[in-house]
Amino acid sequence: MYREQIDAYIDAHKEQLIDDVMKLVRIDSQRTQETPGKPYGEGPAEVLEAAKELMDSYGFATRNYENRVVTGDFNEKEKQLDILAHLDVVPVTKDWTVTDPFQPVIRDGKIYGRGTADDKGPAMAALYAMKAVKDLGIELDYNVRLILGSDEECGSSDLVYYYGIEKEAPMSFTPDADYPVINIEKGHFSKKFHGEFEDCDALPKIVKIHGGDKVNVVPANAEAVILGLEEQTALDAAKKAQDETKVKFTVTKNQDEIVITAKGVAGHASTPEVGNSALTALLQLLAGLPVAPSRGFEKIRALAKLFPHNDYYGKGMGVEMEDEISGKLTMNLGVFQYTPTSINGQFDSRVPI
């Protein structure tokens, strides 16, 4: 009986639900620099406030936890279920063709816009499930709390903060995965690495590498600057690497410097095989260049062996493993920077149970 009522309610409120999803998608909620009272920047704080206003207007008791998390309670009874969703989004790229990332449009029955699937759309679906039950007057013996975070894409420090204050409910789920349900989750192992070494004046030499912005995203863009290298040598290396990796390389000359840019395909770190890493492809190219020996170049070549291009499963590190329940370990070099005296990077690995 209730299922038919709820289905009819959702059908009747479909346009309102879509409008609410698009209202949140219009807010650029990428994490940015912290400002007073806004630990994840302006956008995440703005989207939390917008969601709070929606929950307030639909009759739920709400609370803002220091612009990290907002919650909406179904009733005042003992809490039995936490629904965990998030309103921050991964960094945008220049690959959008249907619309700009934060200008949602509907085409062929789909909403296009950053966050519609991950995770603003599912968050609103959960809210409307609660709204349907509430508006239909269906009594619940316990409380359901919708918990909307704003730092899931950068490590979930929002939930660490929240659960440092509040007790977990006996049951929880998150509408942020494949339909209909995933009942296990791999371990998450993400670590930074750093190294320092002396500069070397011998030419040619690599003076800069930069790739990736978020550790849990396969880098779609990377760039290297090389001093004293012949342009034709760089062009030949770029063509060879492009043929091998299918990453697009561009070589430009600026006085004595050669700039090599790599354009790959972004993807989530939990499924790195969906993307095509510009960063690991660039490291492969650079490791084969005839540059002068140096400690820095040794590090680049070592990293190219540890993170070979299209090695999604940790073979280069010697940590490849899998189990029947949760599948293969995955590995993603998400962020990397190089100067003639230092390296800094971070990788993201999802580890089988």
323 is a catalytic site residue: no
Which tokens hold the place of 134?
């509430």
Q: Sheet holding 330-339: strands in order across?
A: 187-196, 342-351, 330-339, 205-211, 221-227, 257-263, 248-254
Question: Hunting for tokens 């791999």 — which residue is that?
Answer: 186
316 vs 324: CA distance, rounded Å: 22
Amino acid at 303: L
Token pair, residue 104, equals 């949602």
- DSSP letter for 90, please: P
Q: 10 Å Cβ neighbour count for 310?
A: 15
Strand-strand pairing, 79-86 and 171-173: parallel
- Catalytic residue, candidates 28, 82, 119, 152: 152
* 176 classed as catalytic: no
Contact 190, 98 (CB under 8 A): no
Contact 30, 93 (CB under 8 A): no
Query: How far, in Å, CA of 209 to CA of 301, rounded?
Result: 13
Q: Report residue 55: phi and psi, to 5°.
A: -65, -40
The single residue of 88, 119, 311, 348 carrying the catalytic annotation is 88
Q: Tell me, rounded to whole angstroms, the distance of Cα 204 from its chain centroid.
A: 36
- Residue whose pair of structure tokens reads 């509040």 in the numeric block: 166
Active-site positions read: 88, 152
